[in-house]
Amino acid sequence: MGGHSTYCDIQYFLDVIIIVQHSRSMMQGAALISVLHCGTTIRKEELSMYSVNRERLLQTFTDLVKISSPSWNEAGVIDYIVKKLKPMKIQAEKIPCGKSHNLLVRIDGEEKRRPALFSCHTDTVVPCENVIPVVTSSRISSDGTTILGADDKAAVAAFIEAITCIHEQKRTHGPLEFLFSCAEEVGLCGIKCFDMSLLKSKIAFVFDSGGEVGKVIIKAPYHSTIDCTVKGKSAHAGMEPEKGVSAIKVLSEIISKLPHGRIDNETTVNVGLISGGSATNIVAEEAYFKLEARSVDSKKLKSIEDDITLIIHSTVKEYNAKAVITRNLEYSGFTIKENDSILGIIHRALGKINITPQHEISGGGSDTNIINRAGIKAVNLSIGMRNVHTKKEYIMIKDLVNGARFVLALIDTV
Task: Point out which residues bind Zn ion (CB under 5 A).
Answer: 151-152, 208
Give CA separation, 262 vs 166, 222, 295, 305, 332, in Å: 45, 15, 10, 15, 19
CA atoms within 13 A on the CB side of 168: 15
Give yes or no for a contact between 41 and 4, defined as CB atoms under 8 angstroms apart. Answer: yes
* Annotated catalytic residue, options 45, 151, 161, 184: 184
In the complex, what is the shortest distance from the CB of residue 151 to Zn ion, in angstroms, rounded to a whole number? 4
Q: Give the largest Cα separation in the chain, rounded.
A: 96
* Annotated catalytic residue, options 123, 152, 177, 185: 123
Percent of residues in the chain assigned helix, strand, coil, to nearest 5: 35, 30, 35
Query: With respect to Zn ion, which residue has the nearer C-beta, 30 or 404?
Result: 404
Give yes or no for a contact between 66 and 133, defined as CB atoms under 8 angstroms apart. Answer: yes
Query: With respect to Zn ion, which residue has the nearer C-beta, 23 or 71?
Result: 71
* Distance from the Cα of residue 204 to its chain's centroid: 12
d(CA 272, CA 50): 45
Query: With respect to Zn ion, which residue has the nearer C-beta, 172 or 387?
Result: 387
CA angle 346, 158, 190 (to 5 degrees): 90
Q: Which residues contact 219 (CB under 8 A, 6 or more apart)?
A: 266, 296, 333, 334, 335, 336, 361, 362
Give yes or no for a contact between 171 and 26, defined as CB atoms under 8 angstroms apart. Answer: yes
Query: With respect to Zn ion, which residue has the nearer C-beta, 50 or 331?
Result: 331
In the complex, what is the shortest distance from the CB of residue 60 to Zn ion, in angstroms, rounded to a whole number? 18
In terms of Cβ atoms closer than 10 Å to its own Cβ (0-12, 13-18, 19+), residue 264 is exposed
Query: With respect to Zn ion, which residue has the nearer C-beta, 217 or 321?
Result: 217
In the complex, what is the shortest distance from the CB of residue 414 to Zn ion, in angstroms, rounded to a whole number? 23
In the complex, what is the shortest distance from the CB of residue 166 to Zn ion, in angstroms, rounded to a whole number? 24
Query: With respect to Zn ion, which residue has the nearer C-beta, 324 or 361?
Result: 361
Helix (H, G, I), strand (E, B) or coil at 377: strand
Any idea how long the chain is? 414
d(CA 75, CA 191): 16
Active site includes 123? yes
Active site residues: 123, 184
